Amino acid sequence: MSVKHMILGILQEAPTHGYNIKKRLYRNILQDFGINDGQLYPALNQLEKEGFITKEVVIQEKGPNRHRYSITPKGSQAFLLWLEGDEDENESVRYDFFRKDRFLLKCNFMHYLEPGLLERKILAQISLGEKKLKDFHNAHASMTHRQVKPHRLQILELGIQLQEARLKWLQGLLEVVKREIK
């Protein structure tokens, strides 16, 4: 499971509580990185049960209690073993770029769409893509400013490049469709 490893990785850096994992640590990469409650809290409880992390309840005068989790040596070891191992590194070979992109799946059948509608759909995709790209650039600026580890920046840069490639492709597609309309 990737979520568990991500949690261990975060706790490897410093102990913290669930809500913080969710909101603080990743909010600047994307507004919400998106570890959802339904997974986060059960995962924390299970990691504790398995002895990978320990819980300490922090009572606050203001607001609800926090459950502060710390990684154990056992958890740390498991995390490093996962990181060093091959797990999850070659499985993306056959499962593809376009199964993950629902719009692309639809594109397989674009010849059934009336050209005007198709054009509008592509334009909508372009504007979504541009919005996302802007988000990425904002995140990049903010991370640069906060002096985040350079390799985290680098990951974001790949995101930007992939997004740019997709946008360029959409623009090309738009041209083709426009030519068909005329």
Contact partner, 81, from a copy of itself, DNA, none, Cβ < 5-8 Å per class: none
Q: Which stretch binds a copy of itself (CB under 8 A): 37-45, 50-58, 65-73, 164-172?
A: 164-172
Q: Please report which helix (H) or strand (E) contains residue 17, including its range.
A: strand 16-17
Measured from the CB atom, is 47 or 156 closer to DNA? 47
Specify which residues 25 forms β-bridges with: none
> Choosing among DNA, a copy of itself, none, which partner's interface includes residue 147 (Cβ < 5 to 8 Å by kind)?
none
Spatial contact of 41 and 18, defined as CB atoms under 8 Å apart = yes
**Helix runs in 28-149, H state only:** 37-49, 73-84, 102-107, 115-145
**Using CB under 7 A, which residues numbered 51 to 80 contact DNA?**
60, 62-67
- Which residue of 48, 54, 55, 110 would you call a contact of a copy of itself, by CB under 8 A? 110
**Which of residues 90 and 147 has its CB atom nearest to a copy of itself in the complex?**
90
Find the helix or strand (DSSP H, E) in which 66 lies.
strand 66-71
The closest alpha carbon to 69, from 57, 80, 81, belongs to 57
Size of the site for DNA (CB under 7 A): 26
Greatest Cα pair distance, the chain, in angstroms, is: 69
E strand or H helix at 68: strand 66-71
Which span (14-22, 46-54, 140-148, 153-161) binds a copy of itself, by CB under 8 A? Answer: 153-161
Interaction residues for a copy of itself, span 65-104 (CB under 8 A): 80, 83-84, 88-104
Task: Give, as one character, the DSSP assignment of residue 56.
Answer: E
Binding site for DNA (CB under 7 A): 1-3, 17-20, 23, 34-39, 41-42, 44-45, 60, 62-67, 95
